[in-house]
Each structure stands twice: as structure tokens, then as C-alpha cells.
Structure 1
Amino acid sequence: MPTRGDARRGARSGARRIAWPPTLAAKRAQPFDVSHLRFRPQIPRGGALHCFVLDCSGSMMSGRQLAHAKGLLVALFDQVGASRDDAVLICFGGARADVRFGPAIPRWWNERWLEPVGGGGGTPLAHGIRAARTVLARAARRRPAQQRWLWLLTDGRSADRPARPPEADRTVLVDFERGAVRLGRCAALADAWDGLYLTPDDLLG
């Protein structure tokens, strides 16, 4: 993860594209300060692809986690669109995983098309990651200079433990687990993937 010195050097060099996940992870619950800024390295003509994998299982419905996840996705899609990067949304639940959007640059109607996304059934995490790997592998062939991010938004209520897709340059796990008894599977998977572990509060402040 970039250091505070990296952020200052990035600002001086003109690399003004903010890396939001590490920036918000540095901020946590503190009032925002310029020292929290982390900058994305410049990738000539490559840009980035953000592949969002959303858990739409029944367990995400019980405490309105799915509604919160969709609200967070609206904000993330707006950030991706402002950066002129590409996004993909894969929804998994029941016994299947489907690509619902992209790869494409998100537009202004993000909230309108995300609102009808529903949920229910089991948590086929392996299906969701398999679908993401297919998308990421295709992107790697078509645009090898593009940086590929894999975002997993889930409460971790799955026995599946898929391997990290090798096509993903960065991985971010957003933990929506709630309740008095928590399994901690999202943190464990983030550790296994050497990825960034966040909660929704980390991203929304």
C-alpha cells in the first residue's frame, strides 16, 4: 500500500488520480485530512477495470445488507465513471452467478438500474468468483495494460473458499457480516488473497 510519502510525491508529480480504497482505509473514522490521500500510479493508456462481485443471497437480505451494498455500489460506480474507468457487476445468489453490467464506463443512471437487483437463496461464492475470473481473463487478453481490480461485497456466509483469481491485480473484500455472532470469513479470505479488507463504514465514512 502506498505510504504518506508516496502520496506527497504523487501530488508533486501531477499524478492526481486518487486511489479510493487505500485512501479511505487510511482515513477510517478520522476527519478527512490530505495526509490520508493515496494516489494511483499512472498506467499509460491502460486505465482500470473494476469488477464488482455482489452477494445477493438470502443472508444478505435478512438485515438489509443487500440494500446497503447497492447504495455503496452506486457511490463506487460514480467514482469509477468519474475516472473514466470500466466497471463490471456480477451478482451471485441461489445457484447461479450473472453478469449484470459491463465491462463499460458507468453512467449517470447507476442508481436506477441497481435498484431492481434482488436476492435470495444460497451463497454460491465459487460461482461468483468463477464468473469474475472469466471476465478478468478476457479483459487481460484484450487490454493487457489495464489494471484489474476485483471487489467482493459479501457477508461471508458461504462454505466456499475459492482461490484468488490470478488475473486480478488487486483484490478488495467489503465485509457486510452483521449480528452478535460473526464468522469472520471475509477477513480470512482477504488474508488468503493478500487483499484489502474493508467494511462499508470504511468506504462511506
Structure 2
Amino acid sequence: MARHGTRTAWPPTLAAKRSDPLQAQHFRFAKRDTGTGALHCFVLDCSASMLARGQLALAKGLLIALFDRARAERVEVALIAFGGAGAELRFGPAVPRWWNERWIEPIGGGGGTPLEAGMARAAQLLEAAARRDPARARHLWLFSDGRTTQWPARPRRADHVTVIDCECGAVRVGRCEALAQAWAGECLDAQALLA
């Protein structure tokens, strides 16, 4: 989430991480030549299925690392949480504060998986950001296990999409990978990022 970057450069990030758990200081970013920095919109699945095997806790751990990195580099982020019957903006867009862990950790989960509501809220936020600064890169991150029957369209103002697949267990549906492909984005396994 560096001001000069529009997307995470995963090979150098994973090289910096080595066998350690992923932390904010490991992230490396691709250079960009134009614009005024990037906005990273994180969309967090807080449905009941994310509680089954600790996937929500895993996603929140990754979010804390990303928020800490954004704070250190003074990059704006936003967080939208969806679950139950709808979606809500929980943070930003703004530069995160030093107390990220204190307010991210208590975010609860339960209920259904209104992915369409989460993506609609993200689309509104990204559209507003594009109106304010058309040259600014807009990166969408979806943290989910993919356990939903909804298949929303990619928010059109997202310049780059990363789906963090939080699904775990013996039987995997694989919808996160399919969604990333449909949205011309990348899919990363949350467990591998923390391995």
C-alpha cells in the first residue's frame, strides 16, 4: 500500500516474509509512474461461515498487518464489513491510526453472506474516490471464504482486485478463485500468507 504503489508485489513480499508469519514490514509494492497514490478498499466477510474454523480471526490478523503498513506509509484505506443483512463502512477512507488492533479485533460475525451488499457499498466508495481524484489508483481487497450464492459484478472503479481466500477445511468450494478470475483479479490463500 505504498504511496508509489498500486498493487502488492507478491514475489518480493513472500521473499521478505520467508517462513515467518506475514507482518506489515514484509509487504512490497509495485511501482507506479502516475497519479497521487492509491486507495485500498478492504471488504471483510463477517458471515457465520467465517466463524466456523477461525477464518474471520485469520482475516482480521491480515487486515491489522495491512492497516499497520498503511499507517506507516500514510496511505488511505477503507474497511467495509458485510454479514447478516447488509454491509457497513467501518473505517475511512483515511490513513489508519496506531490503535488498529484495538478496533479491528472486536469486529464480530454471524448471519448470512450478503456479498452483493458488500460489493455495492465498495462500488459507491470507489466511485466517489474516482470522482475526487481520477488519477488515483483504487485497489479492492475482498476477504471471504466464498460461501455465498451471490455473484456480484466487479466494481467498475476498482483498478486492481485481490481476493483473499479464507476458506479452510477438507471440502473446499473454490468460489474465491472463480470470483477472482471473473473479476480479472488475483486470488491469494490467507493461510499461505500466514504460513
- Whether these two folds match at TM > 0.5 is yes
Indicate the RMSD between aligned Cα atoms, in angstroms: 2.5
Paired letter, 1:104: A
Deviation of the 1:131 alpha carbon = 0.4
Query: How many Å separate the matches in 1 of 2:11 and 2:47?
Result: 27
State the TM-score, normalizing by the size of structure 2: 0.87
Deviation of the 1:25 alpha carbon = 7.8
What does 1:171-186 align with in structure 2 at a 5 Å threshold?
171-186=161-176
State the TM-score, normalizing by the size of structure 1: 0.83
Which residue pairs with 1:79 in the alignment? 69
Q: 1:31 to 1:71 in 2, by over 3 A?
A: closer
Q: Structure 1 residue 41 and structure 2 residue 32: aligned?
A: yes
Deviation of the 1:28 alpha carbon = 7.3
Per mean C-alpha deviation after superposition, the further-off stretch among 122-131 and 76-85 is 76-85
Q: Structure 1 residue 23 and structure 2 residue 13: aligned?
A: no
Q: Equivalent residue of 1:107, what SS?
A: coil
Larger radius of gyration: 1
Contact 2:46–2:81 under 8 Å retained in 1 = yes
Contact 1:91–1:128 under 8 Å retained in 2 = yes
What does 1:99-118 align with in structure 2 at a 5 Å threshold?
99-118=89-108
Instruction: State the identity as a percent.
Output: 53
Contact 2:7–2:139 under 8 Å retained in 1 = no
Q: Cα deviations across residues 80-124 of structure 1 (Å, max 9, x unaligned)?
A: 222221100000001110000000001111001111110100000
Gaps of 5+ in 1: 1-14
Contact 1:29–1:202 under 8 Å retained in 2 = no
Q: 1:191 to 1:28 in 2, by over 3 A?
A: farther
Which residue pairs with 1:132 in the alignment? 122
Q: 1:150 to 1:16 in 2, by over 3 A?
A: closer
Q: Structure 1 residue 64 and structure 2 residue 54: aligned?
A: yes
Q: 1:104 to 1:30 in 2, by over 3 A?
A: closer
Paired letter, 1:22: A
Deviation of the 1:21 alpha carbon = 2.7
Deviation of the 1:37 alpha carbon = 6.0
Paired letter, 1:113: W
Query: How many Å separate the matches in 2 of 1:135 and 1:67?
Result: 25
Q: Structure 1 residue 193 and structure 2 residue 183: aligned?
A: yes
Deviation of the 1:20 alpha carbon = 6.3
Q: Structure 1 residue 92 and structure 2 residue 79: aligned?
A: no
